[in-house]
């Protein structure tokens, strides 16, 4: 497994070389740069989340459960594998933090590469950072993040046992001239997703989780490669649709609601809970069922 991670590191280096070329094209060719629309006027991907309501409530009805410890991982080869993965993810995070491949790089306060357990069985992937995430450089730390923490706990896991990231690594804003405004969030547009998707693909390839849980329609459509609605994608496992990497093993993905959508529509929580239970059943997690 160690050599597989090293192969991924080599792939990452090749990707970084390609990124340099893209940066050059964006800088040197006005027509190419213009193809990446300014954030303020960008058309959002169908099915994206509208800005989070200011009066959203954190009242949740996900059951609570004690965290379940992951299977024992004490062998020497697993230690080596973890070190390789950590190094590869750290290198990738440094690239993301200095990335300016799309216009979001010019308006962010902090890029948000993602965080969590490099050996996670489960990865949660949202659409992009919001106000709080932009300030802290960490994924899902605002109100929606607090709800995601409760969802993870309801599955019988701790935040430290999963990996959390987004499709776009920088904050997409409806009004980039006023980044201090609340309620200034939007979904990344198609061009921004196309620019950024290699980063999440590399992260998935390095971590190689058993399951990815796509949070919301934007992440689901990007990773499943299906133009259907979130409702059509929910309720079943899909194969991941990745453009830039080949996975060492099959990784399955399910789609569920974004926590911000659950804050606006608490009635959807029972459906989201059913989605999470699909993964729990596969992993043998008991969680705390209603
Ligand atoms: S959103 Fe992604 S591609 Fe765009 S600048 Fe940020 S890291 Fe780079």
Per-residue pLDDT tens digits for 19-71: 443 432 233 333 333 333 333 333 333 333 333 333 333 344 555 544 344 45
Residues whose beta carbon lies within 6 Å of some atom of ligand 1: 96, 99-102, 104-105, 111, 168-170, 192, 195-196
Which residue has the least CA distance to atom 5 on ligand 1? Answer: 105
Examine residue 99 and state whether it is found in any structural domain, yes or no. yes
For residue 42, the CA-to-ligand 1 centroid distance in Å is 15
CA atoms within 13 Å, Cβ hemisphere of 164: 25
Number of structural domains found in the chain? 1
Q: Which atom of ligand 1 is nearest to the CA of 102?
A: 4
Which residue has the least CA distance to atom 4 on ligand 1? Answer: 102
Examine residue 289 and state whether it is found in any structural domain, yes or no. no
Examine residue 185 and state whether it is found in any structural domain, yes or no. yes
Task: Judge contact between 256 and 276, C-beta under 8 A.
Answer: yes
Rounded to whole angstroms, what are the CA distances from 271 to 4, 60, 103, 276, 277? 37, 13, 35, 9, 10
Comparing 62 with 278, the larger pLDDT belongs to 278
Residue with token string 């399955």: 252
pLDDT at 154 over 60: yes
Which mutation among 96, 101, 173 tests ligand 1's pocket best, with the greatest number of atoms within 8 A of CB?
101
High-pLDDT (> 90) share of the chain, %: 64
117-139 pLDDT, tens digit each: 999 999 999 999 999 999 999 99
Examine residue 290 and state whether it is found in any structural domain, yes or no. no
Which mutation among 195, 197, 203, 219 tests ligand 1's pocket best, with the greatest number of atoms within 8 A of CB?
195
Taking all residues of the chain, what is their mean pLDDT, rounded to a whole number? Answer: 82
Task: Judge contact between 74 and 218, C-beta under 8 A.
Answer: no
- CA–CA distance, 146 with 239 (Å, rounded to integer): 28
CATH number, domain with residue 212: 3.40.470.10
Q: In which domain, by residue range, is 153 found?
A: 2-283
Residue 83 binned pLDDT confidence (cut-offs 50, 70, 90): confident
Which residue has the least CA distance to atom 2 on ligand 1? Answer: 196
- CA–CA distance, 262 with 265 (Å, rounded to integer): 5
Tokens representing 223? 């990773």
Comparing 194 with 5, the larger pLDDT belongs to 194
Examine residue 70 and state whether it is found in any structural domain, yes or no. yes
Residue 167 binned pLDDT confidence (cut-offs 50, 70, 90): very high
Examine residue 15 and state whether it is found in any structural domain, yes or no. yes
Examine residue 288 and state whether it is found in any structural domain, yes or no. no
Tell me if residue 199 falls in helix, strand or coil: helix
Examine residue 179 and state whether it is found in any structural domain, yes or no. yes
pLDDT, position 287: 80
């Amino acid at each position: 497994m160690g050599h597989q991670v090293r192969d991924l590191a080599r792939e990452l280096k090749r990707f970084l070389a390609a990124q340099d070329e893209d940066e050059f094209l964006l800088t040197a060719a006005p027509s190419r740069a213009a193809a990446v629309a300014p954030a303020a006027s960008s058309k959002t991907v169908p099915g994206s989340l509208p800005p989070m309501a200011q009066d959203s409530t954190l009242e949740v009805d996900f059951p609570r459960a004690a965290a379940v410890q992951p299977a024992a991982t004490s062998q020497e080869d697993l230690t080596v594998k973890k070190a390789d993965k950590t190094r590869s993810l750290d290198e990738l995070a440094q690239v993301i933090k200095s990335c300016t491949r799309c216009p979001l790089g010019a308006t962010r306060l902090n890029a948000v590469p993602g965080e969590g357990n490099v050996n996670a069985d489960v990865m949660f992937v949202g659409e992009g950072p919001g106000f709080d995430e932009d300030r802290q450089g960490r994924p899902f730390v605002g109100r929606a993040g607090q709800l995601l923490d409760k969802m993870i706990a309801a599955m019988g896991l701790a935040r430290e046992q999963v990996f959390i990231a987004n499709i776009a690594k920088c904050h997409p804003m409806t009004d980039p001239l006023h980044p201090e405004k609340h309620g200034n969030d939007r979904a990344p547009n198609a061009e921004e997703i196309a620019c950024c998707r290699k980063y999440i693909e590399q992260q998935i390839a390095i971590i190689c989780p058993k399951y990815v849980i796509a949070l919301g329609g934007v992440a689901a459509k990007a990773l499943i490669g299906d133009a259907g609605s979130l409702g059509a994608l929910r309720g079943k496992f899909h194969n991941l649709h990745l453009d830039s990497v080949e996975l060492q093993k099959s990784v399955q993905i399910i789609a569920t609601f974004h926590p911000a959508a659950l804050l606006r529509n608490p009635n959807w929580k029972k459906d989201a809970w059913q989605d999470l239970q699909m993964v729990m059943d596969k992993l043998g997690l008991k969680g705390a069922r209603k």
